[in-house]
């Protein structure tokens, strides 16, 4: 295990909260004062196990070790008696299985595990109304099909199971001893009636899961329990410190960016891309092309589109066609190429696609390549293709009745002004880069603790950071891209038989 820490700034405000982000590669903890400023941060890494093709697992004990290491690093910079609460955000969908004594019975099966497609197919066959009930299609990343897989392939293991926890809920249980689940993360299990914010009796019966295995459901800002004496001794913090429900990583990240009111939107451009919009109520896409989850705050929901190769597509292109070239230089020269890249289109489906295709067998492609095209055209086509993919999620969100005109964008893609303007024009949306928006789920967890443990009003705790840069749609470019978007959407159906025949 490796650790790293950094101190942001000194503060005269004595009281603070801890925000924790349980990631796939490591655990990050931030110390945040009542004004919402990050005082200190620390991180601890841990390994990922892939024992078989499509498998992705972790030992939950490594999560706990990461939490302990990062928390102890942070609290060394602040009086422990001044810590008022804790909130945890974390990787979603993981299946953490415990026996009656609270012992982990097998490694946790993670969100990026792909072994249970047969179980997904079975769920759709047995419950045609599943999308309306749960807000989502059955995908291999979700928890319910993982549990079916264990039942079918490891029956002796399943006989021992008495608790099913999501990763961050497991950590909260280690902190407090209370078995509690939380709405935004629970909605990603495929076991909730998302519209009614409760466990789905139909899904539990179908998956043969006793509700007692899951724990009580609470809101992300609601206090779930208090730090036990045993955990306090290990961590070096005060016993009795309250811990809130927290949130799944995407909802926590959105709260960290201030995306809490209907119509507010964030677009995260990392290896994958996520379009997240807070909605007035529960409004699932009838075909399940979007994810519809509970938000981490009461009486709020969100819709989310996920593309699998966002900046990952640019990384592949740079490494393959322009090795060693700086990303900034590559994107800047693409900005000089004409809109539409002289008739060249790029499908960013290098690792399949989730939204809107739900097709693991989709593949990437350049369409319209000629001798006229140079590297600048190819780079721009890649940036435009990624932007078309992200805009597809916005198109679906808008089709459900949610009005979206502005997006706070985070991630590595924000370093390129050229790319941000392309995204603004393709998606016909005002793109805003904000202070602190990249702080992520750890800050979201801390903000939930400020609300639940300190009584800070939601609007105050979750206010967006100041705008650093804003990109406004160019109406001429928007019109051109609207025509190109139709061509972009027409390509996949034509190539699908070929992709599936590979």
Hey, which residues are catalytic here? 249
Task: For tokens 């101190």, name the residue.
Answer: 7
- Report d(CA 86, CA 173) in Å as an integer: 13
Pairing of strands 247-248, 265-269: unpaired
Bridge partners, residue 306, by sequence: 274
Copy the structure tokens of residue 92: 């979603």
Q: How many CA atoms lie within 13 A of 395 on its CB side?
A: 15
- The dihedral over CA atoms of 405, 414, 260, 66, expressed in degrees to the nearest 10, equals 160
Give the DSSP H or E segment for 448: helix 441-454
Contact 282, 301 (CB under 8 A): yes
- Report d(CA 26, CA 186) in Å as an integer: 22
Contact 250, 275 (CB under 8 A): no
Pairing of strands 83-90, 16-22: parallel
Which distant-in-sequence residues (6+ apart) come within 8 Å of 374 by Cβ? none
Copy the structure tokens of residue 122: 């079975």
- Report d(CA 314, CA 343) in Å as an integer: 19
Which distant-in-sequence residues (6+ apart) come within 8 Å of 399 by Cβ? 285
How many Cβ atoms are within 10 Å of 375's Cβ, its own excluded? 15
Peptide bond into 416 cis (omega under 30): no
Query: Which DSSP string corresponds to 124-193?
Result: HHH-TTHHHHHSS---TTSHHHHHHHHHHH-HHHHHH--EEE-HHHHHHHHHHS--EEEHHHHGGGT-EE
- Report d(CA 95, CA 55) in Å as an integer: 13
| CA neighbor of 112 nearest in space, from 142, 82, 87, 137 | 142
Which distant-in-sequence residues (6+ apart) come within 8 Å of 319 by Cβ? none
- The dihedral over CA atoms of 133, 136, 140, 146, expressed in degrees to the nearest 10, equals -30
């Amino acid at each position: 295990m490796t650790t790293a820490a950094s101190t942001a700034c000194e503060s005269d405000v004595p009281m603070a909260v801890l925000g924790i982000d349980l990631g796939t590669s490591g655990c990050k903890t931030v110390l945040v004062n009542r004004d919402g400023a990050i005082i200190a941060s620390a991180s601890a890494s841990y390994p990922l196990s892939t024992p078989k093709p499509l498998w992705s697992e972790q030992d939950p004990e490594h999560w706990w070790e990461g939490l302990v290491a990062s928390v102890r690093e942070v609290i060394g910079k602040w009086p422990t008696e001044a810590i008022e609460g804790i909130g945890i955000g974390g990787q979603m969908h993981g299946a953490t299985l415990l026996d009656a004594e609270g012992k982990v019975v097998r490694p946790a099966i993670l969100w990026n595990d792909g072994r249970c497609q047969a179980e997904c197919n079975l769920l759709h066959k047995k419950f045609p109304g599943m999308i309306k009930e749960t807000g989502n299609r059955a995908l291999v990343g979700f928890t319910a099909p993982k549990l079916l897989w264990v039942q079918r392939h490891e029956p002796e293991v399943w006989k021992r199971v008495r608790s099913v926890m999501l990763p961050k809920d497991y950590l909260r249980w280690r902190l407090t001893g209370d078995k509690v689940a939380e709405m935004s993360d629970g909605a990603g299990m495929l076991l909730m009636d998302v519209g009614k914010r409760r466990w789905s009796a139909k899904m539990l019966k179908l998956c043969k899961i006793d509700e007692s295995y899951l724990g009580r459901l609470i809101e992300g800002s609601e206090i779930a329990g208090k730090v036990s004496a045993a955990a306090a001794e290990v961590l070096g913090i005060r016993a009795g410190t309250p811990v809130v429900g927290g949130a799944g990583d995407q909802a926590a990240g959105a709260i960290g960016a201030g995306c809490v009111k209907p119509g507010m939107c964030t677009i995260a451009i990392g290896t994958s891309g996520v379009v997240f919009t807070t909605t007035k109520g529960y409004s699932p896409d009838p075909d399940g092309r979007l994810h519809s989850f509970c938000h981490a705050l009461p009486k709020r929901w969100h819709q989310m589109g996920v593309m699998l190769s966002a900046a990952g597509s640019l990384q592949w292109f740079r490494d393959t066609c322009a090795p060693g070239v700086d990303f900034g230089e590559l994107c800047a020269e693409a900005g000089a190429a004409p809109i539409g890249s002289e008739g060249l289109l790029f499908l960013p489906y290098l690792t399949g696609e989730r939204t809107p295709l739900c097709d693991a067998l989709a593949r990437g492609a350049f369409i319209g390549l000629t001798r006229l095209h140079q590297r600048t055209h190819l780079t721009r086509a890649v940036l435009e293709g990624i932007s078309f993919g992200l805009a597809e999620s916005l198109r679906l969100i808008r089709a459900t009745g949610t009005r979206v005109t502005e997006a706070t964008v985070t991630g590595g893609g924000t370093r390129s002004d050229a790319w941000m303007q392309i995204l603004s024009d393709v998606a016909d949306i005002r793109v805003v880069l904000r202070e602190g928006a990249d702080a992520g789920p750890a800050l979201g967890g801390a903000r939930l603790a400020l609300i639940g443990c300190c009584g800070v009003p939601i609007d105050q705790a979750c206010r967006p950071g100041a705008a650093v840069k804003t990109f406004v749609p160019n109406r001429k470019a928007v019109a051109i891209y609207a025509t190109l978007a139709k061509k972009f959407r027409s390509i996949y159906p034509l190539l699908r038989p070929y992709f599936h025949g590979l």
